[in-house]
């Protein structure tokens, strides 16, 4: 089709068809994020965790049918309901085909063997009221202690969040082959151990919840600042991460202080989305954002979750990160940001999560309070600074601080290094603009 576009004049009907197909593909991608996790969870409840790949195949076939059908018939009025119905029909076909050679979930296997009870059972299990609980069960099945932590998070991103292998690899700063092997081994554990599809008891919930929250936060970060996409912000991923977080908060058994703190953090960051980019789509750093565009209603919701999180006796990193984000939301202007409080919060965060990334962010805040040289001195003192050598934010920060100290050669050197390290086209554009500004200043 790309070749034809250059060989023949583009007819108006062709343009309309291309735009329609693009819209359908975007709709499918959005629905894949929103619906695939729900349907996989529901199908896993029916098929059993040992048949997870069978559930994934049904979802994949359903979405392919949607793509083929909608290109000719158009997007239906209720696409979510259409996909659910087609997935149900696909599941019915699979059960009829596999019932004599495959064992389904113990709780329903005997009911799926007879045509008399098959359809009523499927109809009952397919009730929308069951979907949130099924997704919670799926979250905790993915975080079974038999699986390594990295495999747990990868499974959640794949099954519940609709991540593809490449996206998971980027989230883990890994390669696709490693992630594929990790997912294969995880599914092998599911097959061999027939891990139960259930919300565990309270003691097991607390031990598994951390990885669930980490997966949701990875999903949110990919949406907030995507690394390989035409747009800086992926609204579908933001919505999905907020939905999964709220699902945990709405269930009394999983509504912990840590869950509420993460929800508060995501609300505060999402509230700034309308001001994060210019009209041309370029990144706008915090000091240049129009705060009148911030979503004050969402900030208020985040504050409610933060207040709820504060009632917990356990203080998690999400509590402190949410506190830092709220300090930025409180400031009427960038100049009025309370950097002293933010540095105190970073000190507290470093006590419970001593990482060079936390130390780097603290140094950035210190530079805002005491000047660029203080920031450079703090960076020089970071333990294990070498571990950040491939983290673009380190040279990007050094470039900014040297620019403030009127050392353009060093600033340019570090910004060029940062440009090489980031894969985000939007971050590359921002760094290019900064480098070009230095050249103008030299004239």
Share of the chain above pLDDT 70, in %: 88
- Cβ(68)–Cβ(161) below 8 Å: no
pLDDT band, residue 33 (cuts 50/70/90)? low
* pLDDT at residue 220 greater than cutoff 90: no
pLDDT band, residue 77 (cuts 50/70/90)? confident
Residue 108's Cβ-side half-sphere holds a number of Cα atoms within 13 Å equal to 23
* pLDDT at residue 132 greater than cutoff 80: no
- 169 backbone dihedrals φ, ψ, rounded to 5°: -60, -40
Distance separating alpha carbons of residues 25 and 23, to the nearest angstrom: 5
Alpha helices in 48-99, H assignment, sequence order: 52-73, 79-98
- Cβ(392)–Cβ(359) below 8 Å: no
pTM of the predicted structure, to 2 decimals: 0.79
* pLDDT at residue 306 greater than cutoff 90: yes
Using alpha carbons, select from 394, 418, 404 the residue that is nearest to residue 372: 404
Question: Token pair of 102, please?
Answer: 């495959």
Average pLDDT over residues 22-28: 65
Average pLDDT over residues 188-198: 86
Task: Kindly provide the residue ranges of all beta strands, DSSP E only, lying in 144-189, ordered along the sequence.
Answer: none
Alpha helices in 145-271, H assignment, sequence order: 149-159, 165-171, 176-193, 202-224, 235-250, 257-271
Distance separating alpha carbons of residues 128 and 147, to the nearest angstrom: 29
* pLDDT tens digits, one per residue of 290-301: 999 999 999 999
Question: Token pair of 434, please?
Answer: 């900064």
Distance separating alpha carbons of residues 347 and 359, to the nearest angstrom: 8
Average pLDDT over residues 159-164: 82
pLDDT band, residue 191 (cuts 50/70/90)? confident
- Cβ(436)–Cβ(417) below 8 Å: no
* pLDDT at residue 282 greater than cutoff 60: yes
Average pLDDT over residues 105-133: 81
pLDDT band, residue 129 (cuts 50/70/90)? low
pLDDT band, residue 134 (cuts 50/70/90)? confident
Distance separating alpha carbons of residues 63 and 33, to the nearest angstrom: 11
Distance separating alpha carbons of residues 99 and 112, to the nearest angstrom: 7
Residue-level length of the chain:
443
Buried b (16+ CB within 10 A) or exposed e, 190-225: beeeebbbebbeeeebeebbebbbbbbbbbbbbbbb
* pLDDT at residue 17 greater than cutoff 70: no
Count of H helices and E strands in the chain?
21, 0
Q: What is the overall mean pLDDT for the chain?
A: 85
CA angle, residues 287, 289, 294, in degrees to nearest 5: 125
- Cβ(363)–Cβ(382) below 8 Å: yes
CA angle, residues 256, 259, 263, in degrees to nearest 5: 140
Sign of CA dihedral 210, 212, 218, 221: negative
* pLDDT at residue 10 greater than cutoff 50: no
- Cβ(361)–Cβ(380) below 8 Å: no
* pLDDT at residue 285 greater than cutoff 70: yes
Distance separating alpha carbons of residues 254 and 3, to the nearest angstrom: 53
* pLDDT tens digits, one per residue of 384-438: 898 898 899 999 999 999 999 999 999 999 999 999 998 888 889 999 999 998 8
* pLDDT at residue 6 greater than cutoff 60: no
Question: Token pair of 232, please?
Answer: 């800086």
Question: Token pair of 356, please?
Answer: 């060079």
The 10 Å Cβ neighbour count of residue 18 is 13
- Cβ(416)–Cβ(403) below 8 Å: no
pLDDT band, residue 7 (cuts 50/70/90)? very low
């Amino acid at each position: 089709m790309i070749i034809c576009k250059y060989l023949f004049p583009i007819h108006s009907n062709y343009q309309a068809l291309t735009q329609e197909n693009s819209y359908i593909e975007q709709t499918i991608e959005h629905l894949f994020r929103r619906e695939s996790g729900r349907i996989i969870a529901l199908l896993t409840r029916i098929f059993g965790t040992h048949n997870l790949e069978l559930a994934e195949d049904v979802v994949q076939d359903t979405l392919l049918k949607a793509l083929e059908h909608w290109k000719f018939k158009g997007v239906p009025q209720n696409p979510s309901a259409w996909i659910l119905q087609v997935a149900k029909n696909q599941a019915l076909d699979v059960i009829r085909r596999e019932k004599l050679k495959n064992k389904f979930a113990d709780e329903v296997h005997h009911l799926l063997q007879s045509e008399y009870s098959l359809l009523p059972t499927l109809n009952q299990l397919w009730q929308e009221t069951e979907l949130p609980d099924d997704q919670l069960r799926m979250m905790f099945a993915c975080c079974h202690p038999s699986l390594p932590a990295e495999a747990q998070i990868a499974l959640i991103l794949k099954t519940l969040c609709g991540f593809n292998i490449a996206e998971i690899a980027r989230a883990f700063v890994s390669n696709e082959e490693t992630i594929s092997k990790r997912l294969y081994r995880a599914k092998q554990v599911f097959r061999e151990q027939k891990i139960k599809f259930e919300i565990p008891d309270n003691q097991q919930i607390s031990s598994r919840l951390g990885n669930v929250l980490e997966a949701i936060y990875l999903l949110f970060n990919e949406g907030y600042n995507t690394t390989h996409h035409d747009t800086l912000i992926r609204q579908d991923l933001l919505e999905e991460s907020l939905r999964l977080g709220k699902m945990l908060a709405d269930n009394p058994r999983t509504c912990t202080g840590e869950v509420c703190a993460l929800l508060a953090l995501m609300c505060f960051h999402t509230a700034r989305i309308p001001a994060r980019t210019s009209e041309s789509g370029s990144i706008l750093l915090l000091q240049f954002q129009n705060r009148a565009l911030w979503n004050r209603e969402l900030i208020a919701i985040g504050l409610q979750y933060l207040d709820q999180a504060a009632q917990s006796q356990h203080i998690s990193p999400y509590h402190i990160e949410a506190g830092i984000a709220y300090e930025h939301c409180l400031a009427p202007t960038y100049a009025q940001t309370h950097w002293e409080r933010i540095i105190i919060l970073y000190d507290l965060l470093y006590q419970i999560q001593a990482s060079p990334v936390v130390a780097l962010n603290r140094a950035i805040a210190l530079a805002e309070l005491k000047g660029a040289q203080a920031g450079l001195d703090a960076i020089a003192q970071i333990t294990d600074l070498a571990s950040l050598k491939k983290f673009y934010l380190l040279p990007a920060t050094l470039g900014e601080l040297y620019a403030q100290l009127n050392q353009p050669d060093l600033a340019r050197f570090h910004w060029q290094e940062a440009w090489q390290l980031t894969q985000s086209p939007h971050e590359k554009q921002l760094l290019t603009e900064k480098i070009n500004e230095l050249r103008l200043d030299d004239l």
